[in-house]
Each structure stands twice: as C-alpha cells, then as structure tokens.
Structure 1
Amino acid sequence: MIIIGVPAGLVVLVLALFLVLRGIGSGGKIPQSISLSFWGTYDSSVAFRDAISAYEKTYPNIHIEYRQLLPNEYEDSLIQAFAANSGPDIWMMHNTWLLKHWDKILQLPQTAAKGEKKPLFTYKQFQEQFVDVTDKDLTFNQEIYGLPLYTDNLALFYNKDMFNTAGIANPPRTWDDFNTDVERLTLKDERGNIIRSGAAIGTAQNINRSTDILSMIMIQHGTIMTDDEAKTATFADQVEGVSVGEKSLQYYTDFAQPIKGERYTWNESQHYSIDAFAEGNAAMMFNYSHNISILRGKSGRLNFGVAPAPQPAGASINVSYANYWAATVSKQSQYSYEAWRFLTYLTSNQGAKFYLKATGRPSARRDLLELQQSDPDLGVFANQSLTARSWYQPDSKAVETIFAQAINDVNYGKATPREAIQTAQSKVNVLFAKIR
C-alpha cells in the first residue's frame, strides 16, 4: 500500500507501533508462525483434512503439512530421516513399535507449560478416555509416548450363504464350535483334496495376518508373551504346568495337516485368504475392520457377516488381538509442545470424530465407542476393542518372520510344535537383547 504525502520513516514507525499495540492486546506476544510436518502411511491426507482445517482456524499461526508414504518404505524412511536430523515433527507409529523406537519419541508433557494453568494431557486422562490396550502399548511408567486415533482388532468373517446351506444358524462362539463348523463347511473330493475350505487358518504365507491370528490364540489361552518388564520373551514357557504357547501353535497348524482328517481344511495351494473368502472358496477368515470395504470392492454379491473372534470354552473375558497406529512427536521437533497440543486435539472427541468419519475405523475413545457399538459394520470391532490385547515386541517385522517360520517348520515336518515355539522364543530374545 502506498501512502501519498507521508514520509516513509513515519509509515514504518506507525506500522511498528500498530504491531506492538496489537501484540499487547493479544497478551503481549505476537504469535509465531509455526509449520509442523506430519508423516503417516495407511491414511491419506483426506483422513486428517477436516481436523487440520478446524485446528488451523483456532490457531491461525500453526500450519500442519501431512505427507503419506508407502507402507513398505515408511519405517525405513523414518529411520533415515531421523538419522539425518530431518525427521517429521509428528509421525504415526504402529502399536508394537514403542520398544524399538522409543529413543526417537519425546513424551507428552504432563506438567503445565509456562503461562498455562493446566497441562495439555495427563496419564489419568489417558486411562479414562482410551481403551485399555492403548495404555499397555503406548505408555510406560505412566509416561505417554503416543495418542491413538483408533484401534482395530481381529474378528471372524463368515459366508452367510454357506452357513445357511450347511444348516449352521450362528457363527461359532467358541473354538470347539469353530472346529465343528470347519468340519461341516469343508468340502473335499474323493482323494481328500480341498474343494472348499471351512476356514483360512493353518499356514503362514497365504493367510493375511496369520501371525496375528496365532498371537491371538496364544493370548486367549493364557500364554504369557513377555515378562512384566517386557525385556524377555516367555511365550514358550509353561503356565501353571501347561505349555500353552506350544499347544496354541499346534492347534493353529492342525488345520493345515492332512493327517488331522476332518479338521484339515487349508494348505499352501489355496488362494490368498482374502481372495479365497471373496471368491467363495473359504467359508470363514479372520481379519480387521478395514477388510469390510475391501471385500465389498472385490465382490458386491458376497453375502458375509462379521462375528466376534471365537473364545476358549469357559473364558471369562472375550479377547481379540489389537492392531492399530498411533500418533507421536519426534525428539527432534523444535515445536514439540505445539505438536503435542495438536495431537491432543486430533484425538479429542471432536478431532476423533473428523478422523473416524473420514476413515470408518473403530474408535480408541470410550465415549465414541458407545456410538459405534450398534453400528452394523463396526459394532463387533467396537465391542471387542474394550478387551482387545497385544504384546510388546522388540521388532514387529522380525517377530512376524519368526512366527511365520515356526508355522512353516511345523507344517513341513522340520520341527515339533514344542521345538518350533522354543526356537521362536530364542530368536525373539536375541531381538530383545539388541534393544536393552
């Protein structure tokens, strides 16, 4: 703007005085313009668009830039960026990553910042607002290392038409029921070859999230996956005189063993589990909520339902296996307080509503789970979120490989279930030793 007839020096003086007075009127401090970088992988920018927009209207000096990376490149890209001191302020971490990447995280401050009357968030609020599994995964010694936007868990997908034809009125509630239903739903030719599988279970490579299914069965049956301090794997150890980890591995692989007779329902020649279920070649499969839309995209005519994961007979608590991502703040961030402040909004009731509406995922917040429990798609997952479990892992990718190898070794006759689970425990403990 040009002011005719006014000396340039006077213009500068007036402008400076205006800015000073404006600063005094807003508390004596002119807000600094801050840009926060935010990295994720499975979520597109659409997932955060409305929440970011609402937040930036409240804090116009804050700009948040979200970047989506490919899943198979994400973790390595993070590690490389942090090594070069160029990592993001905010990043999404898997619920099993805390032990592996804790040194890259700045905990959420639980004391009031200078000039503030109360802290951003406290451990007590965390426990009150979020489901229990997130406390186990994202906190340690009451320090908060991440905030969850959602949680997901394993449920049973079943083909309603196949159940109806077989005269099975309801999906299995217990593993004993599951065994019976598998036998009734499996179709074989005169040579014993599988024509239709009763369930996608028993192998590693051609079953989506096979090692998660195994972990769920182990935890359900009382396997203690690690010691209390999460420094040592213990899943091969006996619990009250019973080798529950070994028995769980044996149970899982029995479904891929022809010598098991009627229970034999799956092998490595079957199509990938999600495809087999979508094609009508498998009557049941285990998976997470996001597969509802995937299945509908693959086959609009597939008549399927979702039921809670089967439980051991007489179980007092229904347990599923949790798998999700949470948001955290980098130790390298120059604006860690502002980053955590944004995340407390993003995972608040209002911020989470924006995210969940965009993604269709089960909530991590207890107050929003109440709204989802009656949802026809998410109800099962919402209910299971309250009692879902997971376990501390030193390196989730490596653990997945180790568990898959244990499954393969049993199926190929290279090891007994006892030998395979003990070998797996030894390998996982090598990983634990590296991060101590």
Structure 2
Amino acid sequence: MRRSTVLKINSLLLIGLFMVTTGFQCKLASPKEQALLKPVELAWWGTFDNPEDLNDLIGDYSAIHPNIRITYRKLREEEFEQALLDALAEDRGPDIVSVTNVDLDKWLSKLAPLPDSTELAYQYTKTSLGLKEETVVEVRKNASLTPAQLHEQFLDVVYGDVVRGGEIYGLPLTVDTLVMFYNRDLFNNAGLPLPPTTWSELQGDVTRLTFQNREGELVQSGAALGTMSNVEAGTDILALLMLQNGARMTVGGQVLFHQLPAGADRTYNPGPEAIRFYTDFANPTKEVYTWNDSFPNSVDAFIQAKVAIIFGYNQHRQYLEARRQGKLNYEVVAVPQIEGRPAVNIARYPVHAVMRKTAHVNEAWDFLQFAAKRDEVKKYLDRTKRLTAVRSLVGDQTGDDELRVFAEQLLTSVSWYHGKNAAAMESAFSDLITSVLKDNIPPADAAELAAQKIQQTF
C-alpha cells in the first residue's frame, strides 16, 4: 500500500515536471485571447519607400505581435491609383496605404479614421517556478493618439493635413521641405560668392548667371523658374511665392488665392503679383528672363550645368547624388524669403493611412501608431536619411550637416491643397502659367480662372 502511494506521488511529480519543462500551460487562453492571437496578414502599398526602408519598423512590431505579418509592396507612382481602384473594386485591396499629404482628401471616403483605442494580445515570457520560461498572453486595450496629442508631438503642418472633423486619418514618419540647389562653379564664374537669401537678391543674381548666344537663344539659365512643364516642383514653387507674399490659398474649403485679402492694400493683390513675379523669369521682354520650354527638366538641366539654381526636395538631393559622378559642385541652401517678413516654407510628404474596407482596422492602426513613436521613427530616419515628422527629433537633425538645411525649415513649413484631386490642381496651375506666357492673359484674370477650376475639386 505504501509502495503504491509512493509510486502515485512520484508519477504526479514527473507529470508536473514535464508540464513545466515543456512549457505546457495549465491555463488555456480565453476566447478573446484566442481571437486576438489568430494569424493576421496586413498588406501595405506605397510609392515612396523601398521595402528595406521599413524592415526595422515591421521587425520590431512583429517581435511583440508574432501573429501579425506585414508585407509592403512598392508600386510606381503612375500605376498606384489605378491598381488601388482595381483592387478595391474586387475587395482585395491593401490594409494600409501611403499617399502624399496633398492627395489624402482624394481617398478620404475610403479611409478608416483612427479609432479611440486598439485592443491586441501581447505575448511575453516569464520564468515559472524558477525552472522554465513560460509564454504569457495578455490582452491590452490602448488609448489611441488624440488630435491634441498629435498637434503636440508632430510638426504643425501635419495636423492640418491629417485631421478632419476632429478625427485622425493618417500618420507620417517624415516631412520633406522645398530647398534651393545652386551650382557653386557657375556662381564662382559669375563672381558671386554667396547664394541669394531673398527673392530680390535672386533676381539680381539671375542677370549675372544668364547667357544667350548670338541668336538670342538661352544657353545658360540663372534659375529654373517661370514655366511649369519643365520645372520640377513648379506648382509648389508658385504656391510658396503666393504664401510668402501674403495670399490666402484656401479658407473653409473656398479657394481664395486670386482674391485681395481683407485689410490688404487694394492696389496690390498678393496672389496675382506672385504669378507675375514667377512668369517674369520666362518672359523674353523682362530683365530677369532666364528660362523657357527649350530646356530639359530642371533637375536634368542642373546635372548638365545648364542652369545655376533649381528648387527641389530631399528626394531630389538623393537623385543628384546618385548621378553627379563627382562632376557636379553644388550646395543645398534654404529657399529665398521675402525680406522683412516671417519665414514660410512648403512641405510635401507621405501619409500612412488605413483602408476602410480592411477587416483589420484594429491591427493596422495599432501598427501605424507603433511605427510613429519617437524611437521607431528615429530608426527609420537613420536608415533612410529623411526628415522627421516628429517635433522632438528636429533638434537632432539640425545638427546633421547633410540634413540641416531641410530640418531648419520644418517648423515653418506649411501646405495648402485640401481638395480631392491634386493632379487637377496642378493642371490648373500649369494652364494658368501657360495662359499668362503664351496668351498674354493678365495674371489677375488667369488666377481667377485657375481658382474656379480648383474649386471644382473641393
């Protein structure tokens, strides 16, 4: 009898030891935990990032949520819209998309706003009885980022671009600002030791950097300004001039850049005057004539040393670096400002959003909020050499020689278009410039017509 009892006790001890050493958990996962631990596949589409750019973000998130698998697909810009529309029509679209800040409203009806909270299962290990690490499942309900917190943590420009009706529709990791690139050799040859810091200085420099042949044809341009078809970021340059000059671009969904602002000098309309300033650089009758449609794309012309000044973003710097082959002596500086006025800069950047049709709004938004945390954003920026959307990282980047100029403009950056068709807006600006240059339409009339076209997209 005693021998039988001892055997039973030993058997129970062996079973208990087996349960501990094999990681067997006595407590089974609850139905909610089981549901939240089911495998989830999140598809992410974009045109901006390469897959390797996102490895850290995805890897870090998968480490705490191993049941969630995220795959990123990069599409060409020209194919993105149609591919997304086709996928949505067939109910096979992505869960997450990345679109530019000026395109967010185009997709707004197809996006899911950030919910008040997300609820996910977290898996971690703890030592049980000092013998074996045990996997523990814990369900956590996390309050989501609020618009007020977003305004506090991100650049000012972000709030106006992603918050609609008190709800957040997307989050960025990076914000890019328009800068000026200048060819040091061409400036040296013209006896110009420093780049212009104001638009009036730029006008003076252009006259010394522009050369024509005997037939009156431009052979070297001082600055790629005045047209739209071959000026990279031409729409943003013109919008920046209007904003710096005091034009109100839109107010309450109304396009107003053609109108005289309240309380302004009635003899000076800032929107049309900015158009006049811009088109003068492509007007052969003006002293600052320096650019026309005969030049290639402004970035390519800059690489070929056919133009001394161009404007672009950090992505254009990366393009120039890849193609300079040690032959292009250039510098990046801040865009010119209007003397005596507060600095105004313009931003373009990708916003990451969740599709309304996804079955995984909870998981997709939880991931995007995780990716937008300071430490994760820093890993992304260190890998990609891009500019931060998070305010607390601006100081770090102003100390980086490669990014300093861009970073110093972040806090004064703005954007303006919140209609539903950015391509139509850009087409209206292009038609505006063509009508002034080719058809001699007064800038005020051209601005009014462009505003009417753009209003139709709101």
Q: Could you state the TM-score of these two structures normalised by the residue count of structure 2?
A: 0.86
Distance 2:393 2:86 in 1: 37
Provide the residue aligned with 2:124 in structure 1: none
Alignment of 1:397 with 2:403, yes or no, is no
Give the match for residue 136 of structure 1.
160
- Opposite residue 234 of structure 1, the aligned amino acid is L
The Cα of 1:124 is off from its aligned counterpart by 2.2
Q: Which moved more, 1:410-419 or 1:379-388?
A: 410-419
* One-letter amino acid of the structure 1 residue matched with residue 453 of structure 2: K
CA distance in 1, matches of 2:243, 2:207: 25
1:237 aligns with: 259
| Alignment pair present for 1:90 and 2:93 | no
- The answer to whether the 8 Å contact 2:170/2:352 transfers is yes
- What is aligned with 1:4? none
CA contact (8 A) 2:398 2:404 kept: yes
Q: Per the alignment, in what secondary structure is the counterpart of residue 32 of structure 1?
A: coil
Which residue of structure 2 aligns with residue 246 of structure 1? 272
Q: What letter corresponds to residue 196 of structure 2 in structure 1?
A: P
Q: Distance in 2 between matches of 1:20 and 1:164?
A: 78
By how many angstroms is 1:200 displaced?
A: 0.6
Q: 1:267 Cα deviation (Å)? A: 0.6
1:28 shift after superposition: 7.7
Where structure 1 has 5 or more consecutive residues not aligned to the other structure, the ranges are 1-13
Instruction: Specify the SS of the correspondent of 2:38.
Output: coil
1:166 aligned onto 2:199:
no
Partner amino acid, structure 2, of 1:36: L
Matches within 5 A, 1:172-251: 172-227=196-251, 229-230=252-253, 232-239=254-261, 240=264, 241=266, 242-251=268-277
3-state SS of 1:428 partner: helix
1:34 aligned partner, one-letter code: V
- State the secondary structure of the residue aligned to 1:427: helix
Residue type matched to 2:302 in 1? F
The whole-number CA distance in structure 1 between the counterparts of 2:410 and 2:337 is 15
The equivalent position to 1:57 in structure 2, one of 53, 63, 81, is 63
Provide the residue aligned with 1:32 in structure 2. Answer: 38
Aligned to 1:21: 27
- Is residue 361 of structure 2 the alignment partner of residue 336 of structure 1? yes
| Native 8 Å contact 1:394 1:428 kept in 2 | no
1:414 deviates by 4.6
* Aligned twin of 2:181: 157
Q: How far apart, CA to CA, are the structure 1 residues paired with 2:322 and 2:104?
A: 34
Amino acid at match of 2:240: M
- In the other structure, the counterpart of 1:272 is 297
One-letter amino acid of the counterpart of residue 323, structure 2: K
Q: State which of 298, 313, 323 in structure 1 corresponds to 2:348.
A: 323
Alpha-carbon deviation of 1:427? 0.8
Aligned residues: 413
Contact 1:160 1:305 survives alignment (8 Å) = yes
Of 347-356 and 58-67, more deviation after overlay is shown by 347-356
Q: Matches of 1:414 and 1:194 in 2, distance apart?
A: 21
Residues 106-148 of structure 1: CA deviation (Å, up to 9, x unaligned): 1112346596464132222211211111111111233111001
More displaced, 206-215 or 159-168?
159-168
Question: What's 1:127 paired with?
Answer: 151
CA contact 1:185–1:198 (8 Å) conserved in 2: yes
| Matching of residue 422 in structure 1 with residue 428 in structure 2 | no
Task: Indicate the structure (1 or 2) with the bigger Cα radius of gyration.
Answer: 2
How many angstroms does 1:314 deviate by? 0.7
- 1:255 pairs with 276, 281, 306, which one? 281
Determine helix, strand or coil for the equivalent of 1:37: strand
Distance 1:38 1:27, change over 3 A: closer
Give, in whole Å, the separation in 2 of the partners of 1:212 and 1:195. 26
When residues 355 and 30 of structure 1 are mapped into structure 2, their CA distance, relative to the original with a 3 A threshold, is closer
2:317 match: secondary structure: helix
Q: Secondary structure at the match of 2:348?
A: coil
Q: Is the Cα contact below 8 Å between 2:118 and 2:366 reproduced in 1?
A: no
Letter in 2 for 1:358: R
Read off the aligned partner of 1:69 and give its amino acid letter.
Answer: L
| Distance of aligned partners of 1:27 and 1:206 in 2 relative to their CA distance in 1, 3 Å threshold | closer
Partner AA of 1:42 in structure 2:
F
User: Matches of 1:89 and 1:357 in 2, distance apart?
Assistant: 26
Q: Distance in 1 between matches of 2:44 and 2:234?
A: 31
Structure 2 vs 1, CA of residues 219 and 427 (structure 1 numbering), >3 Å: closer, same or farther?
same
What SS does the corresponding residue of 1:182 show, helix, strand or coil? helix
Q: Provide the secondary structure at the position in 2 that maps to 1:345.
A: helix
Checking the alignment, whether the CA contact within 8 Å between 2:44 and 2:94 is kept in structure 1 is yes
Number of the residue aligned with 1:10 = none
Q: Which runs of 5+ in 2 are unaligned?
A: 1-18, 121-138
| Helix, strand or coil at the partner of 1:46 | helix
CA contact (8 A) 1:202 1:252 kept: yes
- List structure 1 segments (4+ residues) > 6 angstroms apart after TM superposition: 26-30
CA contact (8 A) 1:372 1:378 kept: yes
Q: Report the identity percentage.
A: 36
Question: Structure 1 counterpart of 2:423, which letter?
Answer: K
Match of 2:336 in 1: 310
**AA of the residue aligned to 2:256:** T
- Greater shift, 290-299 or 186-195, is seen at 186-195
Choose which of 367, 375, 388 in structure 2 pairs with 1:363: 388
Cα displacement string for residues 52-93 of structure 1 (whole angstroms, at most 9, x for unaligned residues): 111101111111011111110112222222233222111102
In 2: Cα distance, 1:84 partner to 1:304 partner: 48
Deviations 1:321-359 (A, max 9, x none): 111111011111111111111001111112212322332
Q: How does 1:368-383 map to 2 (within 5 A)?
A: 368-383=393-408
- What is the CA-CA distance between 1:175 and the residue it aligns to? 0.7
How big is each residue's C-alpha offset from its partner over 1:255-311, in whole Å with a ceiling of 9 and x where there is no partner?
Answer: 0001003x0000111121001111111110000011112112222221111111111
Q: Take 2:419 and 2:412, find their aligned partners in 1: how far apart are those partners?
A: 19
Kept in 2, the 8 Å contact 1:48–1:354? The answer is no
* Cross-structure match for 1:11: none
Distance change in 2, residues 1:212/1:29 (3 Å): closer
- The corresponding residue for 2:171 is 147
Contact in 1 for aligned 2:248/2:256 (Cα 8 Å): yes
Task: Report if aligned partners of 1:150, 1:361 keep a CA contact under 8 Å in 2.
Answer: yes
